[in-house]
Structure 1
Amino acid sequence: MLEASVPALQAQDEGATHADGALLLNAFRIAHPGNAELQAVLLTPARPTEHDSVPLSTSGFLYVPATYTLLDYLLARPAELIEGRRVLELGAGLGLCASVLQQWHPPAARLLATDGDCRVIPLLGGNLCANAGLDGAGHQVLRWGADRVRSSGLAAAWDVVVAADAVFHAHRPDERRDTGRAPSHATTTMISDLLETAAALLDTGGHLVLSVEPRDHLGDGLLTASLFAVAAASGLRCVEARPRRLDGQLRPEWQTDVYVFQPGVHVACPRALTT
């Protein structure tokens, strides 16, 4: 049982059973006092293939505490962030977050799950379809950057943009640090690309909600500073920062923070974000 730091959400992974030689079937039960019980059943690769230069497990094929933290935050504020809203997820992976959100009633006006990894898109679409609500979520490939947003045909018409575990390194993937090894290109996300993409998608008055797990030796101090600096350059201001921790899931020492940004002039976030 995974219990979030705020009791709005309880999520239980029912475990994995083999669907075939290459896929696992995972069942998730999301108990929420405001909307009965939400469930999601998702297929996930059992292991990376020999031909993958980047293991699938490093590219959106894992469930991490940040996903549950993001859901916990959103489900605690449905009137503001879900009901009747146009919601877009960046880096949706296998679609756990979107699969749960699409079952919420009253539903979002529109829900679109995106990911930049073409390998994950077939499973993302299948999982969303298997867990569809009345209308269901859409899905598409979306790589990050303002130019790519424009070429995708998506307009700046989204009320809420969300992402879980999309940022956790504060440096470029080709830079080596004290560890003597470079972090993977697949697992290191450029903060500037993420925030530039969100800024290009958000409508006036919209919200960007990031659930962040800093987990390299640089610590979250540098990551937070980088996040705020790039946000300011992208025309986003931080309006809320909440430290969270999901003890017992994966590595208990991983901190999971929630940051909320809106288009506008940059202002400093509350000091409550520090631990």
Structure 2
Amino acid sequence: MATEEKKGSAILETIKTVFWALIIAGIFRTILFQPFWIPSGSMKDTLLVGDFLFVNKMAYGYSYASCPTIRIQRIGVNIDAADICGFLDGDNTRIMGGEPERGDIIVFRHPVTGADFIKRLIGTPGDRVQVKDGVLYLNDEAVKREDAGVFEEIYEPQGPIRSRPRCENRVIAEGAICRKSRERETLPNGVSYDILNIGTQRSDNTGVFVVPEGHYFFMGDNRDNSTDSRFPQAVGGVGMVPYENLVGRADRVIFSSAGRSMLFFWTWRGDRFFKGLE
């Protein structure tokens, strides 16, 4: 009898331990940091497919988007952040809100689909943004750019979705070197970073976008391979992103996996451990 009571007590303690561990993990993810694994190449070469990082949720305060979205298709679980933190969904406001700065790398919720995106903040409220012949203009002034050489990678399937990179030299052979032109772009506030180009694209020439109050304009560093604010939401783009949709700021890569899973430690990139982001 005593043995059965001990077993029952041990099971209860295990359940309590797991319960509190989940509560603590949920608080950590909701209030402090959210893990994010880069699935695509839209932010190369700043972020590579397979980079793992934590997003700082304290940077801009909190909104409904600060809560995690839980989707497990195999068992039919689909809990949106708004279902958990809908009480924070105000009139495009945030609690303890902080203002993002041009050049910040930010995770945000897509205004229509609710999917998490990570891009660089280019335009703030009131800015006029345009791209002409591949050159970024802010408030009718061309942003400074200078040559930064060539970005090279292997033409092969990347990450869990096994997508292949797009190349300026248009290689098609598996294992060949894929090249893209690289330039150093410097925003008016002094933030500098590399951007990649493949060639002339439709997105290299746009109209003038005027960023409305309470919204932001985002672009990927891999300019010719990024679905961002240059494309309207009506055609699957991002459009202007409301303030309340910001999740947090990415400051540092924790580690990076070149394989299909971040658990494949033998594919981790040794030069990207705790790498700071520009």
Q: TM-score, normalised by structure 1?
A: 0.26
Q: Which structure shows the bigger proportion of residues in strand conformation?
A: 2
RCO comparison, higher one (Cα < 8 Å, 6+): 2
Q: TM-score, normalised by structure 2?
A: 0.25
Q: Which has the larger radius of gyration?
A: 2
